[in-house]
Amino acid sequence: MANPLRSEVIKLYKHLLYLGKDYPKGATYFKERLKCSFMKNKDVTDPEKIKALVKRGDFVIKELEALYYLRKYRTMKHRYYDDKHDK
Amino acid sequence: MSGRVLVGVKRVIDYAVKIRVKPDHSGVVTEGVKHSMNPFCEIAVEEAVKMKEKKLIKEVVAVSCGPQQVQETIRTALAMGADRGIHVEVSAKEYESLGPLQVSKIMAALARKEEAQLVILGKQAIDGDCNQTGQMTAALLDWPQGTFASEVTLEGGHVKVVREIDGGLETIKITTPAVLTADLRLNTPRYATLPNIMKAKKKKIANMKPADLGVELASKLEVLRVDEPPQRQAGVKVESVDDLVGKLKEAGRI
């Protein structure tokens, strides 16, 4: 089971797990889904396929970061700027 | 030019947390509540790091005042790309009365000590909403200030700052050293990723006391009472258009 991509997949999992702590629906909700989606592909052995999946994971990381930023930005805008009825 | 930028970061209750007032109205509940870096401070850090990436400056120093826990916030700033941190240690008890004036005295003293070229702060913190620290720091240093910045361009000994003012934008040109405060639209702060947080653990955080900087922390302000905002009144459902018109007339809207 010593796949050379193993460490990369674990790194991705850890990174996503860390990002999930701030997930709006809660860390537990995120964790369950994260585990499910990793387990779904546990039998994939083709290195090309694994690489593609890791790439997809990286994309999800980007999406999550964007989601958190937007959520924060919107809250701040709502709190400090929207009162003036922005155009 | 030293090429050094000092960035102030504040640890505040996380923006997504529902704030609760203590039963004795002396303040808000902070124990066991998630804290994070003030969103406007994140913008300030991002701007400094961006300047460094463009090689316009040489070093970004993140500063925070408060008890031991503020080191987490400094770590976050280091993970975002600051080079080193300065933790000005203020005991939890003193921290309660620490206001913008005391912090700006510390910032001013540090700016002199570190020979900073720029001091970048968030325009305000989401807990105290004071919006004073940047302005007072500039006054104490007798440096020019570019507040509510939504765009900053550093060119030689000058900074061009586009400021968000009521009803529009104002562009000013000031000489460095200067104090800038970041507004919401200045940039998009990057997320402190896990690998970067790990790497940030190797960066240095210097520890000092306000007394080392010759700053007296006594505050003349006293908080009398903290209250929750009034509860929003429930709405009413109307049966017909006539009802609606009647209600609106009653409320004096039409």
What pLDDT is stored for residue B218 in this prediction? 86
What pLDDT is stored for residue A86 in this prediction? 46
**Cα B116 from Cα A16, distance rounded (Å):** 38
Q: Which structure tokens are listed for B189?
A: 């702060």
The overall average pLDDT reported for chain A is: 87
- Option in B39, B188, B194 nearest A76 (CB): B39
Residue-wise pLDDT tens digits, A72-82: 999 999 888 86
Based on its alpha-carbon atoms, the radius of gyration of chain A, rounded to whole angstroms, reads 17
What pLDDT is stored for residue B64 in this prediction? 96
**Cα B103 from Cα B117, distance rounded (Å):** 19
Would strands B145-155 and B158-165 be described as parallel, antiparallel, or unpaired? antiparallel
What pLDDT is stored for residue B11 in this prediction? 95
- If interface means Cβ-Cβ distance under 8 Å, which residues of chain B face chain A? 15-16, 39-40, 126, 184, 188-191, 193-195
Q: pLDDT-based confidence at A22, cuts 50/70/90? A: confident
Cβ neighbours of residue B82 under 8 Å, at least 6 residues apart?
B7, B45, B48, B49, B60, B61, B62, B74, B203
- Pair A47, A5: CB distance under 8 Å: yes
Count, in order, helices (H) and strands (E) of chain A: 3, 0
Q: How many Cβ contacts (< 8 angstroms) between chains A and B?
A: 29
Extents of the domains making up chain A:
4-80
Mutate to test the interface with A, among B130, B184, B190 (most CBs of A within 10 A): B184
Q: Enumerate residues 21 to 60 of chain A having a beta carbon within 8 A of any beta carbon in chain B.
A: 24
What pLDDT is stored for residue B186 in this prediction? 94
ipTM of this complex prediction, to 2 decimal places? 0.81
pLDDT tens string, chain B, 254 residues long: the values are 668 999 999 999 999 999 999 999 988 999 899 999 999 999 999 999 999 999 999 999 999 999 999 999 999 999 999 999 999 999 988 898 899 999 999 999 999 999 999 999 999 999 989 999 999 999 999 999 999 999 999 988 899 999 999 889 999 999 989 999 999 999 999 998 888 988 999 999 999 999 999 988 888 888 899 998 888 888 888 889 998 998 888 888 87
- Pair B4, B114: CB distance under 8 Å: yes
What pLDDT is stored for residue B230 in this prediction? 86
- Pair B60, B52: CB distance under 8 Å: yes
Residues recorded for chain B:
254
What pLDDT is stored for residue A84 in this prediction? 54
Contacts of B40 in chain A (CB under 8 A): 76
With a cut of 50, say whether residue A87 has pLDDT above it.
no
List domains and CATH numbers for chain B. 4-250 (3.40.50.620)
- Option in B16, B40, B188 nearest A69 (CB): B188
Q: pLDDT-based confidence at A83, cuts 50/70/90? A: low
State the sign of the Cα–Cα–Cα–Cα dihedral B47, B126, B87, B198: negative
**Cα B132 from Cα B125, distance rounded (Å):** 10
Q: Do A72 and B191 touch (CB under 8 A)?
A: no
Distances (CA, A) of B163 to A3, A80, B155, B183, B244: 54, 16, 17, 8, 43
Q: Which structure tokens are listed for B244?
A: 């609606």
Q: For tokens 């200067």, what's the residue? A: B178
What pLDDT is stored for residue B97 in this prediction? 86
Q: Which structure tokens are listed for B53?
A: 């990436």
What pLDDT is stored for residue B250 in this prediction? 87
- Pair B116, B4: CB distance under 8 Å: yes
**Cα B229 from Cα B186, distance rounded (Å):** 29
| Lowest mean pLDDT, pick from A3-7, A21-25, A80-84, B217-221 | A80-84
pTM for the structure as a whole: 0.87
Mutate to test the interface with A, among B41, B187, B194, B198 (most CBs of A within 10 A): B194
**Cα B190 from Cα B47, distance rounded (Å):** 10
Q: Do B194 and A79 touch (CB under 8 A)?
A: no
- Burial profile A6-19: b = 16 or more Cβ within 10 angstroms, e = fewer: eeebeebeebbeeb
A84 vs B32, residue with greater confidence:
B32
